[in-house]
Amino acid sequence: METKSNCFNETKQKFAEYLLSLGYSKTTVESYLRTLSRLEECMSAHGETTYSGGIGAVFIKEECKEGQSDSALKENRRVIRRLDDFVKGGYSLRTSTDYSVPDCFSKDFNGYMEYLRSAGKRESTIKKMHYQCWFFLKDMHGACKNSLSEIEPQDIYRIFSKKVRDKINYCVTIRSFLRYLFKSGILMNDLSVFVPSVRRREPVPSVYTKAETGQLLSVIDTEKDSGKRDYAIILLALRLGIRSGDIVNLKVSDIDFHSDVIEFTQSKTGVPQRLAFLPELKDAIRTYLSAGRPDTHHPNLFISALAPLRPLTALAVSNLVTRHMKKAGIVKAGRKCGGHALRMTLASELVSEKVPYNVVRKILGHENTASMKHYVAFDMETLRSCVLEVPPFSGLYAAYISKRKGGK
C-alpha cells in the first residue's frame, strides 16, 4: 500500500515537472516546493492522506495564524491556487510571459542591454529595465511602428499616461534608453527630454523604541533550535544593522571568534564589511552553532530548522521578524516590520546618541555620502534647534494683516 508521504511526494514531483514544462524558472519552482513542504506537514497533522482543496484552505488559515507577512501569505495562496488547478487538470495554470522584444527592435535593444552590463549595472536592475523597455517597445509595435526612428514624443507620453502603473521606474528606464539611442546615433534627436518627471515620495523610516525591541527579543523561545537561530538573526539586524540579504548569505567561515569580528561582502554594494562582535551577539551565535544549527554540509550560517535543510532566504528573515513582533504584541501603527526596520532602528538609536552621520554611514555599510540625508529624518531634536523665528510682517502684507485686525 502506498504511504501518504510517497503519494504526496509523487504529486509534488509531477507538479514541479509541469511547472517547468510551462516555462517557470527553477528558482520559482523551488520556492513553490518549499511551500508544499509546509503543506505536507499540515496534512500530516490533520491525518490527511491525499491533497484536496479543503486541506489547502486549512493550510492557508493556519499560515495566517502563524503571523506570516502579507507578501508571504500572498505567495502561499498563489501556490495553493496553482496546485488546485493542477489537481483538477491544469487547465487554468498561467504560462510564463514571453518578454522578448519584437524582432525589428531586437538589435538596438540588445545593444542597450550590453551597455547596461558594461556600465556595471546589477543583473536584478537590468531585469527590471528589460521589462520596462519590453513594455514600451511592445506598445510601439502594436501601434504599427517598426523602427525606433519612428518614435515620437506623443508616443512616450501616451504610454506613460494611459498604460503604465509603475510610472517612476518607467520614466527612469525609458529616459535612459532614449538617451542611449541618441548617443549611439540611432535617434537624431534626444527624446529623453520628453519623458515626464515624477516626484518620488520619500518614505518615513520605520523605527521601533528600545522598549519595543526589548519586548521583541524577550518573546523568542531560545529553548528551541529555531528560537536560537531567530534570536541571533534579529540581533544581527538590530545591533549591527546588517541587511537581511547579507544575513542569509553569511557563511560559518565569516565568523571569527578569536578576533571577535564578522567579515563579509555586501551583496547590494559589493563592498567588504568588517564589524566587531558585541558580547551579546557573540554568545547568541556561539549558542546557535553549538546547540541549534542542524548538522549539514551547507556553508551558510543560518539553516532551516526542518527538512529539507537549506539556507534561509531574505523573505524568511522578514517573516520571522513579523511573526515574533506579532507574538510580542507590538502594534505596527503603519510601520514596516521586517529586517530593514530593525536596521533603521539601529540608525535612529545611533543618531539620537549623537554619533556623527559619517560614522553611522560606515556602520551601516553605505558608500554614497548622499545616504546621510536619510539619517537626518531621525534627528528630530537637532532639527528643532535649527528652526528660525518667523520674521515680522512688512510692506503690503503688514498693511493687509493690520487691516484684518481692525487697524488702519
Domains (range + CATH), the chain:
4-88 (1.10.150), 103-194 (1.10.150.130), 210-381 (1.10.443.10)
Number of Cβ within a 10 Å radius of residue 157: 13
Sign (positive or negative) of CA dihedral 393, 394, 396, 399: positive
Candidates 192, 169, 167; CA nearest to 180 is 192
Tell me: pLDDT of 164 over 80: no
Q: How far apart (Å, rounded) are the C-alpha atoms in residues 315 and 73?
A: 12
99: pLDDT confidence band, cut at 50, 70 and 90? Answer: confident
117: pLDDT confidence band, cut at 50, 70 and 90? Answer: very high
Residue with cell 523665528: 389
Tell me: pLDDT of 184 over 90: yes
The three three-digit cell numbers of residue 228, written as one number: 536560537
Q: What is the dihedral of CA 290, 293, 295, 299, to 10 degrees?
A: -100
Inter-residue contact 320 to 305 (CB < 8 Å): no
Inter-residue contact 212 to 333 (CB < 8 Å): no
Tell me: pLDDT of 408 over 60: no
Q: How far apart (Å, rounded) are the C-alpha atoms in residues 396 and 390?
A: 17
220: pLDDT confidence band, cut at 50, 70 and 90? Answer: very high
Q: How far apart (Å, rounded) are the C-alpha atoms in residues 352 and 51?
A: 54
Res 94: pLDDT:
55
Candidates 285, 289, 297, 343; CA nearest to 317 is 343
Average pLDDT taken over every residue of the chain: 85
Residue with cell 540608525: 347
Q: How far apart (Å, rounded) are the C-alpha atoms in residues 74 and 368?
A: 35
Tell me: pLDDT of 383 over 80: no
Res 123: pLDDT:
85
Q: How far apart (Å, rounded) are the C-alpha atoms in residues 322 and 339?
A: 9
Tell me: pLDDT of 277 over 80: yes
290: pLDDT confidence band, cut at 50, 70 and 90? Answer: very high
